[in-house]
DNA sequence: GTGAAAGCGCTAACAT
DNA sequence: ATGTTAGCGCTTTCAC
């Protein structure tokens, strides 16, 4: 292991002062061309890399973003994350990631650990437990300490910060309208995420679309829960009854279970039953029949969130204003709604 | 935004010296109980958090691990990542993540950007392009600079570092043996990742198992490629021929496409065709029929990698030795191989 | 038991 | 055009 090469070392080797070397390397006009070249070449030769920690300490900023994600196995979050990472890197920022695993404590702990000069700001989607308990003190405390936050997808209404969301309500409306256009008369709503803000908005959109179309809202066609086992049991009954002819499933478990059970019961999709699900990632295409989805443009959400945060970090405005960006969804028609 | 509270500030407020405060907060025996308590209480009151950058600079270590992942949308990598994150956090380390997107340049750039005092070491899986070109100079350079590396899954044989791998060869052997036990006579091998080390090992295991069972290796039953479109076309023909009765698919695209096409052709799984795939994540269970898989224990791989790296970081041994850990896989039998 | 001082590696205001 | 100095926030050795 070779000893780290520092400014001091270069200065000594070249018989210069540390500050001359520093200026030469940052191409300062104060330094003569000869010395500048000499220094720059020697530095390259020695593969000199300025120590990040020293720079950060000096500058009082780290060029690092803290990202807190509820669950990286959920392809939506994975996509958003890749968008954040890409946009951040492009602007010279690193990304430190914590996975909250939907736990409030882990989320709080992450913010605590990172908010002492480790990161310049946060991008996060609120943990399920935090939303269930409806506590936002840790977010507010972090903001008070001067660290900006951008929330995406799962947000807290009462926290004053930048937000990037999907228009869940409107997406549901659109999806249900589409099912109706296909001729569905008895449309079910399936949700295992009724404890999340996004789940609730999607459910509301479903009801609204039915009302708009003067269709009855039938409670028997609605499964809203936060427990997958409870869900599975109720779903089995609902599908066995063979009453419904359309499904809006607001999460991946709901849509895939619906298709699985329907196939097992010999119900033909989409002939007898049309299914639209909220889903991201490559898997909806891989199902047989492939699943029509509302895609949320995860990467764009991530990029937008990173953009908003970095804007805030690099503007020195003392009285910041907060934006909420809505990223449009897209209805991707596949075989589960293609009526022949 | 309130001004950051520092040791200096506490010292001033309490009429003490900076060093006394520092020692009091680290519970030094040099400090009297009265002052110690006074300082600790005041610090808690002020919500004092030691500045990480200053500490890092002083200590010449960052308690941060650089993680480079080829593709976070691949559930295997997502699982490994969550294992790394969990184990690292548990030991007080942060994780900075770069996604190489299979690009050699991004991988190299990430290592370059992080190896100047930003991280203490790396955990990574080699980018496809790097494996294809077979270049490992950037890894060797980083090691020479004194930063330890742990490679997982996709490794470079010629780089001398800790490694965590799956026994891909043996897993394939087991899977094929299982298919044979189920009565399969004509077993196909499907691979879209024949450019990766893991893909090659899995293919070799397939051949070996056939030989062990005195079965003929039929080239027509083998699709090895690195292009998905090429793959899809050849697969369509292979399945249409209705000759094969068993499939070992070494990647997710291969296994799911095989099932999709078979279902479309009206071939019954598992009655006429058994399928085993290498896959992680929740989706194999969601397919109809559910897919039997070789699961790679992603989280354990991640945890083991983090453990190995942290061990190296915290041992001061000047002449390190390097371990290669093999994490066992598990054959999960689901409906795609359950013969009634 | 407490404090002064040096130093981690870098930058920048201020000499010369 | 080059160098001196102070300081970012913290730890640690050495005085008192």
DSSP A255-316: HHHHHHHHHHTT--TTTT-EEEEE--SSHHHHSSSPPEEEE--HHHHHHHHHHHHHHHHH--
Helix-then-strand count for chain A, H and E: 14, 12
Nucleotide C11: nearest residue by CA–C1'?
A58
What is the tens place of the pLDDT at every residue in A185-235? 999 999 999 999 999 999 999 999 999 999 999 999 999 999 999 999 999
Set of chain B residues whose Cβ sits within 8 Å of the Cβ of A51: 57, 116-117
CA–CA gap between residue B62 and residue B119 (Å, rounded):
6
**Rounded mean pLDDT for each run of 10 residues along chain A, 340 residues in total:** 85 93 92 91 94 95 97 96 98 97 97 95 97 96 95 96 97 97 97 95 98 96 95 96 96 96 95 96 93 96 98 83 96 88
Q: What are the φ and ψ backbone dihedral angles of B202, each rounded to 5 degrees?
A: -65, -40
pLDDT per residue of chain B (340 residues) written in tens, 0 to 9: 667 899 999 999 999 999 999 999 999 999 999 999 999 999 999 999 999 999 999 999 999 999 999 999 999 999 999 999 999 999 999 999 999 999 999 999 999 999 999 999 999 999 999 999 999 999 999 999 999 999 999 999 999 999 999 999 999 999 999 999 999 999 999 999 999 999 999 999 999 999 999 999 999 999 999 999 999 999 999 999 999 999 999 999 999 999 999 999 999 999 999 999 999 989 999 999 999 999 999 999 999 999 999 999 998 667 789 999 999 999 999 999 986 5
B30 touches strand C (CB under 7 A): yes
Rounded to 10°, the helix A298-314/A75-90 angle is 40
- State the nucleotide closest to B14 in CA–C1' terms: C2
Q: Are A293 and A276 in contact (CB under 8 A)?
A: yes
From B139, B123, B148, B165, select the one nearest B324 (Cα to Cα): B165
Verify whether the Cβ–Cβ distance A264 to B118 is below 8 Å.
no
- State the nucleotide closest to A18 in CA–C1' terms: D3
Burial of A262 (0-12, 13-18, 19+ CB in 10 A): buried
Sequence-ordered list of residues with C-beta below 8 angstroms from that of B152, at least 6 positions apart, any chain? B80, B123, B124, B125, B163, B164, B165, B301, B302, B305
B140 touches strand D (CB under 7 A): no
Nucleotide D11: nearest residue by CA–C1'?
B58
- The alpha carbon of residue A146 is apart from the nearest alpha carbon of chain B, in Å, by 5
Question: Measured between alpha carbons, how far is residue B307 from residues A195, B149, B301 in Å?
Answer: 36, 12, 10
CA–CA gap between residue A222 and residue A248 (Å, rounded):
10
- State the nucleotide closest to A48 in CA–C1' terms: C9
* CA to C1' distance (Å), from B28 to D13: 14
CA–CA gap between residue A308 and residue A90 (Å, rounded):
14
Which residue is closest to A64 within chain B, CA to CA?
Answer: B96
Strand pairing class (A292-295; A330-332): antiparallel
What is the tens place of the pLDDT at every residue in A221-249? 999 999 999 999 999 999 999 999 999 99
From A175, A163, A239, select the one nearest A208 (Cα to Cα): A175
Set of chain A residues whose Cβ sits within 8 Å of the Cβ of B56: 53
A16 touches strand D (CB under 7 A): yes
- The alpha carbon of residue A214 is apart from the nearest alpha carbon of chain B, in Å, by 35
Which nucleotides of chain D does any protein CB come within 7 A of? 1-5, 7-14
Write down which residues 9-28 in B have CB closer than 7 A to strand C.
15-20, 23
Q: Are B263 and A288 in contact (CB under 8 A)?
A: yes
């Amino acid at each position: 292991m070779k000893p780290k090469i520092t400014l001091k070392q270069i200065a000594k080797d070249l018989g210069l002062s540390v500050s001359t070397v520093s200026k030469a390397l940052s191409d300062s006009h104060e330094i003569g061309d000869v010395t500048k070249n000499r220094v720059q070449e020697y530095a390259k030769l020695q593969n000199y890399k300025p120590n990040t920690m020293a720079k950060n300490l000096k500058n009082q900023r780290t060029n690092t973003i803290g990202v807190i994600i509820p669950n990286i196995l959920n392809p939506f979050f994975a996509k958003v994350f890749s968008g954040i990472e890409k946009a951040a890197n492009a602007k010279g920022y690193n990304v430190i990631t914590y996975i909250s695993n939907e736990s409030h404590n882990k989320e709080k702990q992450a913010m605590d650990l990172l908010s002492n000069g480790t990161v310049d700001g946060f991008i996060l989607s609120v943990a399920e437990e935090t939303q269930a308990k409806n506590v936002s003190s840790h977010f507010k405390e972090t903001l008070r300490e001067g660290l900006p936050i951008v929330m995406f997808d799962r947000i807290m209404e009462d926290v004053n910060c930048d937000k990037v969301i999907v228009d869940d309500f409107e997406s549901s409306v659109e999806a249900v309208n589409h099912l109706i256009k296909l001729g569905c008369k008895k449309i079910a709503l399936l949700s295992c995420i009724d404890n999340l803000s996004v789940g609730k908005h999607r459910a509301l959109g479903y009801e609204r679309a039915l009302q708009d179309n003067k269709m009855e809202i039938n409670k028997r066609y609605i499964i809203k829960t936060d427990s997958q086992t409870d869900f599975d049991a109720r779903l089995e009954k609902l599908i066995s009854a063979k009453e419904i002819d359309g499904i809006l499933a607001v999460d991946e478990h709901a849509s895939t279970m619906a298709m699985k059970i329907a196939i097992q019961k010999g119900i033909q999709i989409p002939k007898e039953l049309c299914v639209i699900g909220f889903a991201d990632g490559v898997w909806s295409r891989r199902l047989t029949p492939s699943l029509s989805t509302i895609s949320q443009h995860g990467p764009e959400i991530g990029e937008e969130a990173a953009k908003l945060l970095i804007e805030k970090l690099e503007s020195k405005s003392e009285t910041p204003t907060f934006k909420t960006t809505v990223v449009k969804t897209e209805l991707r028609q596949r075989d589960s709604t293609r009526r022949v």
